[in-house]
């Protein structure tokens, strides 16, 4: 709680200075401004420091890491990454995660956009019930189902298999994605669709050629969010995979940690590799990510 009080105080000063400028001394206004900006910057520092510290440590020698506080290593130790890649199994985990992410994103985009389109634009009996059920699934938490999901996949012969993992992840991504895409389809003008139907386009043509291109921003937002979700997924991977050759990167990382005690600098390099695609994606697409998170959380 102690941390929150200074957060509010400078705010008050800054705002008050605007409301009653004639009675507030200049020095106080300046002090308030400085405190306000200092606070913003300090919080940004705490938000960014752990990742900066991770990356800096990942290119140091074990002596630099353990000897004292080193910011920039004398010689960047990029072989840390090479060791994690070859001996840490990341040459297997990273391609696996790329594969799972790609397939799941494409699967979710196709299945969720079809359902989202129908639920937004086609009238059929039972539409409301289906929409309700899709929404109901959002509140079923994974900790309540993962043991049973494991049993189901064992019964189907899909435990410890790529197919089982992919199908489970596609399903997990559907409810929120359907919801976001349905919103996008509902906002499109009806005229284009009507004109296409009059021209004799089939329902699938209308969906594929007209509505999908219009909903491109929605598809992009869903693709980015789903990529993040699959790349960061851990619990199902932990439960489903015994074979290292099938493991995605987060699971591989904990496997590597618990193996014959790798050196700290190699662990840091491995962790950096697990997080690098996420950082790149965020740098490129933070707008989609932030917007998608707001839509998904507020409306769902």
What part of residues 57-76 is at the interface with another protein (CB under 8 A)?
A: 57, 65-66, 69
Whether 221 and 288 have beta carbons less than 8 Å apart is answered as yes
Stretch that binds another protein, among 23-31, 46-54, 83-91, 183-191 (CB under 8 A): 46-54
Total residues binding another protein (CB under 8 A):
100
Binding residue for another protein, selected from 193, 207, 221, 241, defined by CB under 8 A: 207
Q: Does 29 bind another protein (CB under 8 A)?
A: no
* CB closer to another protein, 246 vs 289: 289
In whole angstroms, give the CA distance from residue 32 to residue 15: 9
Q: Does 103 bind another protein (CB under 8 A)?
A: no
Those residues with Cβ within 8 angstroms of residue 269's Cβ, 6 or more apart along the chain or in another chain: 58, 59, 80, 81, 83, 84
* CB closer to another protein, 210 vs 238: 238
What end-to-end distance do the CA atoms of the chain give, in Å? 30
Those residues with Cβ within 8 angstroms of residue 217's Cβ, 6 or more apart along the chain or in another chain: 184, 288
148-167 binders of another protein (CB under 8 A): 148-152, 154, 167
DSSP code string of 89-126: SHHHHHHHHHHHHHHHHHHHHHHHHHHHHHHHH---TT
Q: Does 180 bind another protein (CB under 8 A)?
A: no
83-102 binders of another protein (CB under 8 A): none
Q: Does 267 bind another protein (CB under 8 A)?
A: yes
Stretch that binds another protein, among 22-30, 74-82, 183-191, 249-257 (CB under 8 A): 249-257
Q: Does 124 bind another protein (CB under 8 A)?
A: yes
Residue 253 CB burial class (10 angstroms; 0-12, 13-18, ≥19): buried
In whole angstroms, give the CA distance from residue 275 to residue 25: 48
Q: Does 257 bind another protein (CB under 8 A)?
A: yes
């Amino acid at each position: 709680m102690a941390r929150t009080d200074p957060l509010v105080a400078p705010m008050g000063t800054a705002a008050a200075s605007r409301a009653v400028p004639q009675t507030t001394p200049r020095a106080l206004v300046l002090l308030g401004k400085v405190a306000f900006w200092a606070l913003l910057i300090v919080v940004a520092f705490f938000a960014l420091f752990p990742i900066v510290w991770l990356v800096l440590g990942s290119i140091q020698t074990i002596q630099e890491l353990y000897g004292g506080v080193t910011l920039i290593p004398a010689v960047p130790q990029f072989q840390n990454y090479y060791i994690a890649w070859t001996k840490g199994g990341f040459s297997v985990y990273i391609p696996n995660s790329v594969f799972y992410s790609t397939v799941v994103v494409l699967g979710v985009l196709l299945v969720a956009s079809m359902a989202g389109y129908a639920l937004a634009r086609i009238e059929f009996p039972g539409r409301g019930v289906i929409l309700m059920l899709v929404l109901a699934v959002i509140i079923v938490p994974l900790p309540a189902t993962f043991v049973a999901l494991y049993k189901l996949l064992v019964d189907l012969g899909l435990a410890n298999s790529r197919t089982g993992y992919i199908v489970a992840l596609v399903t997990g991504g559907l409810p929120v994605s359907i919801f976001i895409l349905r919103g996008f389809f509902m906002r499109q003008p009806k005229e284009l669709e009507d004109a296409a139907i009059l021209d004799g386009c089939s329902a699938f043509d209308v969906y594929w050629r007209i509505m999908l291109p219009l909903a491109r921003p929605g598809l992009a937002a869903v693709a980015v969010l789903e990529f993040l979700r699959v790349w960061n997924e851990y619990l199902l991977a932990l439960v489903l995979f015994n074979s290292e050759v099938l493991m995605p990167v987060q699971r591989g990382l904990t496997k590597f940690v618990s193996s014959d005690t790798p050196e700290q600098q190699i662990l840091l390099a491995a962790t950096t590799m697990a997080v690098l695609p996420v950082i790149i994606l965020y740098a490129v697409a933070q707008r989609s990510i932030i917007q998608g998170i707001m839509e998904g959380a507020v409306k769902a």
